[in-house]
Amino acid sequence: MLIDTHCHLDFDEFKADFEDVIKRAKLAGVIAMQTICTNLDEWERIHKLTKNDFPIFCSVGTHPLNIKDTRIYKAKEIAAICNNNKVIGIGETGLDYYYDTEHKVLQHESFVEHIIAAQETGLPLIIHTRNADSDTINILREYKKQKDFSAVLHCFTSSEKLAMESLELGFYISASGIVTFKNAHDLHSLFKKIPLEKLLIETDAPYLAPTPLRGKRNEPSFVKHTAEFLADLRGENFEHFCQETTQNFFKLFNKAKLN
């Protein structure tokens, strides 16, 4: 029983074999997945993917690296789109100074609008952060004090300090296939320390396929490899690990309902 909590099924890499991707996910034990919005201009295209017999949920948001190519959606606009039973999260949003330091102000403005939307709707925030630990946690703390909201730091590759500070705020930490990489020693150490009740797993497909499939197109069925690796790394029973991380998904994304 697994859930791919973060993937991008709308990307071109899945156009040719979308239904086969879903079939393989089911065979791997995946019972649901969340396809993540990275550009609100294209949300309708993403929403269409949720009209499937298999449980596919989605989020609404604009990736920080896409801000420069679109407009900043206001919190009320984001919240309005959430009035749909398949929309279960806000994002992905956040800060990325690794690829783009030129548009920091725009990234900040968009991040804040997404946070406010999460506060208004009660839906969890899906956070992307890269090379922006200090600004990310400072913004999150500031708005958490004003009004509560829940969140997950997805595809976590940042510092242990940021992870622990985020856990103190009650947020979740999500592991992608990167944690399975041989040289990801810092992540191996970190993910031994993350409380099981605050841990999620994801593929971030079509990117970042886990070992032993590294270099291939990633897809939701591959989340099983990440789960197996983490269960072994943490010395936990695989079935128990899958059950707990699946329960975590439904606790955080509590709007998600299986038919």
Other Cβ atoms within 10 Å of 184 Cβ, number: 16
Q: At 105, which amino acid appears?
A: V
48-53 long-range contacts, CB within 8 A, separation 24+: 49/9, 49/10, 49/18, 50/86, 52/22
**What is the CB-side half-sphere exposure of residue 209 using CA atoms within 13 A?**
11
Phi-psi region of 166 (alpha: psi -120 to 50; beta: other; left: phi over 0): alpha
Annotated binding residue 10: no
Annotated binding residue 188: no
Annotated binding residue 6: yes
Per DSSP bridges, beta strands 87-96 and 125-130 are parallel
Distance of alpha carbon 78 from alpha carbon 39, whole angstroms? 11
Task: Kindly compute the dihedral angle of the four CA atoms of residues 111, 117, 123, 124, in this order, to the nearest 10 degrees.
Answer: 10
Per DSSP bridges, beta strands 30-35 and 125-130 are unpaired
| Helices 223-234 & 238-252 angle (0-180, nearest 10) | 110
Name the token pair of 94. 């956040």
Show binding-site residues.
Answer: 6, 8, 92, 128, 154, 204
Show binding-site residues for a divalent metal cation.
Answer: 6, 8, 92, 128, 154, 204
